[in-house]
Amino acid sequence: MLDDILDELTGGFSAVPVGQSAIRLGMALLLGALIGIEREASRKPAGLRTHMLISMAACLFILVSQNLATLEFGPRESMRVDPLRLVEAVTAGVAFLGAGTIFASGGRVKNVTTGASMWLAGAVGLACGAGQEGLAALAAGVVVTILMLLGWVERRMGWDDPER
């Protein structure tokens, strides 16, 4: 019975082994957290947990799709595996979440950058799930640098003044 449970818990990792899957999910969490920490520090509506969850979910979707592509669903010539459809679905879902953070107040649109950072967290998760952790880390590092550096510039220039 215990062997059956262990087989069931580890047997579904035909395309991406358990260890690799754990590394990819962990990287997605870590990189999503880096983006989320900056948003949290900036007191934005979507912060650490949201960005971590978005990044990990996107990673999981890719991992699941890679494993699904190895299952038998009939004759090989009749199978269609299109990874871009999954990327489009994840992108649309994250865009929906990001749009939910954007609102207008007093004639000004707010939280567009947070919506964009959520979208990017999804892309980081997709990259991690596809085994492109280096690319994901580079993107996360660049976006955190941009958010922090340009946030500092905006404050120095007075561009972040809500009355402006």
The per-residue pLDDT for range 9-38, each reduced to its tens digit, is 766 667 888 889 999 999 999 999 999 999
3 versus 39: the higher-pLDDT residue is: 39
Share of the chain above pLDDT 90, in %: 43
Question: Can you tell me the distance from the alpha carbon of 5 to that of 18, in angstroms, rounded to the nearest whole number?
Answer: 15
User: Can you give the pTM of this predicted structure?
Assistant: 0.82
Question: Can you tell me the distance from the alpha carbon of 8 to that of 140, in angstroms, rounded to the nearest whole number?
Answer: 34
Q: Which of 160, 107, 155, 127 is nearest to 35 (CA)?
A: 127
